[in-house]
């Protein structure tokens, strides 16, 4: 851990009827840390992610941001506390242009005089300035991912949560995204949920591996990803 804990989860549980998606997870993230959540499909990482950003209210347990409990708070309140979220399925304003979409993000945190400039900077940083006047609903999947990321980074949040940010991107876009996430981690703490192991190896400093709603392993990326249990989970031996 690089600094004092920014985000902590304690005994986090999420049940949907009789199904337990997350079964008591403890987690801690330091200031300025870049952390990846990995695991096979159905491991509970996306449910865990949604509890962090307020999209789901935990059945039990607590989530604390800088020591303040945020478990069960509405997503808008958590966002205003400095948490930026990129969802698994791109969540955009399809009828608006890329610029108008990012303006909505910057309007939420800045006065009008500064909002436009910040939106332009965010689009430029994501390399999509040329798409500023394009309607988001007509963009290609990878471009939509980049516009959504521009919306998130434009607010300059303290904590950035990214759920499968590289999904549907081209090789060049993934490379650029990897560099960008590493750069973002210099000014914000970042949690990335991801499947792509090559991408994780490239960006992650620390990794938490989820399996069947629990934390299977946690620690430095190289060490955890070399763990035999983690390999078993990914190769399906545990299930067999």
Partner 1 sequence: MTLRDALGWLLVGAAALYALVAVPAGGELTTMINGSIYASYAILALSLALIWGYAGILSFGQAAFFGLAGYVYAVAGLNLESTPLAAVIAVAAAAGFAALLGYFMFWGRISDVYLGVITLTVSLILYRFINQTAGEEWTIGAAPLGGFNGIPSTPILAPPGHPDEPFLPEQIYMLAVAALFACYVICKLAMATRFGRAVIAIRENEGRAELLGYDTRLYKLGIFTLGGAIAGVGGVLFANSVFVSPNMFSLQTNGQVIIWVIVGGLGTFAGPVIGCFLLMALSTGLGSLDAGPSFAVLDPNLVMGVVLTLCVLGLRQGLLPTALAFGGRLVAKARATRGRGAAELRRPAEERP
- Interface with partner 1 (CB under 8 A): 53, 55, 74-77, 79-80, 85, 87, 91-96, 100-101, 103-105, 107-109, 112, 115, 151, 155
Residue 190 CA: distances (Å) to CA of 7, 116, 125: 11, 25, 17
Smallest separation, CB 35 to partner 1 (Å): 20
Closer CB to partner 1, residue 131 or residue 200?
131
Alpha carbons 111 and 16: distance in angstroms, whole number: 41
Smallest separation, CB 58 to partner 1 (Å): 18
How many other C-beta atoms lie within 10 A of the C-beta of residue 140?
A: 12
Closer CB to partner 1, residue 84 or residue 213?
84
Smallest separation, CB 144 to partner 1 (Å): 12
Smallest separation, CB 71 to partner 1 (Å): 17
Closer CB to partner 1, residue 150 or residue 217?
150
Closer CB to partner 1, residue 31 or residue 107?
107
Listed in sequence order, the DSSP H helices in 171-227 are: 171-184, 197-203, 221-225
Smallest separation, CB 211 to partner 1 (Å): 28
Closer CB to partner 1, residue 84 or residue 178?
84
Sign of CA dihedral 48, 54, 58, 62: positive
DSSP state of 17: T
Counting Cα atoms < 13 Å in the Cβ hemisphere of 43 gives 25
Alpha carbons 173 and 195: distance in angstroms, whole number: 16
Question: Please, are residues 207 and 38 in contact by the beta-carbon 8 Å criterion?
Answer: yes
Closer CB to partner 1, residue 94 or residue 124?
94
Alpha carbons 70 and 63: distance in angstroms, whole number: 6
Residue 104 CA: distances (Å) to CA of 148, 158, 239, 240: 12, 19, 45, 48
* Residues belonging to the chain: 240
Closer CB to partner 1, residue 131 or residue 225?
131
Smallest separation, CB 166 to partner 1 (Å): 19
Smallest separation, CB 230 to partner 1 (Å): 31
């Amino acid at each position: 851990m690089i600094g004092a804990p920014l985000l902590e989860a304690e005994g986090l549980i999420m049940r949907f009827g009789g199904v337990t998606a997350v079964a008591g997870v403890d987690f801690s993230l330091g200031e300025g840390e870049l952390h990846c959540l990995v695991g096979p499909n159905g491991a509970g990482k996306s449910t865990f992610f949604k509890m962090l950003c307020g999209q789901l209210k935990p059945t039990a347990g607590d989530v604390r941001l800088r020591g303040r409990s945020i478990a069960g708070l509405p997503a808008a309140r958590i966002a205003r506390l400095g948490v930026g979220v990129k969802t698994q399925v791109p969540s955009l304003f399809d009828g608006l242009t890329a610029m108008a979409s990012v303006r909505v993000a910057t309007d939420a945190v800045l006065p009008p005089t500064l909002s436009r400039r910040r939106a332009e900077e965010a689009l430029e940083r994501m390399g999509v300035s040329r798409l500023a006047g394009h309607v988001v609903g007509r963009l290609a999947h990878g471009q939509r991912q980049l516009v959504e990321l521009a919306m998130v980074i434009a607010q300059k949040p303290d904590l950035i949560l990214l759920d499968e940010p590289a999904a549907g991107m081209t090789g060049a876009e993934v490379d650029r995204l990897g560099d960008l996430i590493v750069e973002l981690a210099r000014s914000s703490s970042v949690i990335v949920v991801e499947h792509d192991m090559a991408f994780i190896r490239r960006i992650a400093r620390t990794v938490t591996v989820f399996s069947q709603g629990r934390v299977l392993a946690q620690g430095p990326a190289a060490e955890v990803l070399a763990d035999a249990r983690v390999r078993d989970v990914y190769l399906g031996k545990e299930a067999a």
